[in-house]
Amino acid sequence: DRIFLSICIPSYNRGEDAYAAVCEALKSGYDQEIEVIISNNGSTSNTEGYERIKAIQDNRLRYYEAPENMEFDGNVRRVVEMARGEFMLFQSDQELIISSAIPCYMNALFKNPDIFAATSTGEGKNFIKPKQSGINNQRLDILNGIMNQNFMSGLILRKSSVEKKNALALYDKLKDNIFLKM
């Protein structure tokens, strides 16, 4: 009932990277306010890390293992469906959110109740540079953040807005678009 931020990590064949991403996200210090969702997209190689994730005893962690590959769009859909937080923060399994920055994101999102999207930063090639992030010193700079985004890592969306606008149906309609497949 109290989950504010769902950290959503779709993953495929990168178990050790996913394990590192999950461990870093769980360092945040938040208890009931966050959850970390990992969706293993029917991985057939590099699965040792997924076994390590399954062994983590932490009630903030939610793990899903698809019986077969759902493709990238299906895996993203799965983490969205699993998310229970007011906001969803997406990240690649190859990158790390900076756990010490989570309080900044949480505070900025909480202080801006009308916000529907923001961006964050982390460690990895697909995260935007910190000064281009959508949250700077607890100030939201959405346009700058989104205009500098080149991948889903760091994208933060309000779940109720995604549901209200039926964004998953739009995503399904556009899933063959080359930009979504990149």
Model confidence pLDDT, tens digit, residues 122-168: 555 554 454 544 455 544 444 444 445 445 777 888 888 877 766 66
Q: Where does the pLDDT of residue 169 fall: very low under 50, low under 70, confident under 90, or very high at 90 and above?
A: low
Instruction: Record the pTM.
Output: 0.80
Give the model's pLDDT for residue 59.
Answer: 95
**Residue 63: CB partners within 8 Å, gap ≥ 6?**
38, 40, 50, 53, 54
Helix axes 48-55, 15-26, angle to 10 degrees: 30
What are the pLDDT digits (tens) for 43-70? 999 999 999 999 999 999 999 999 999 9
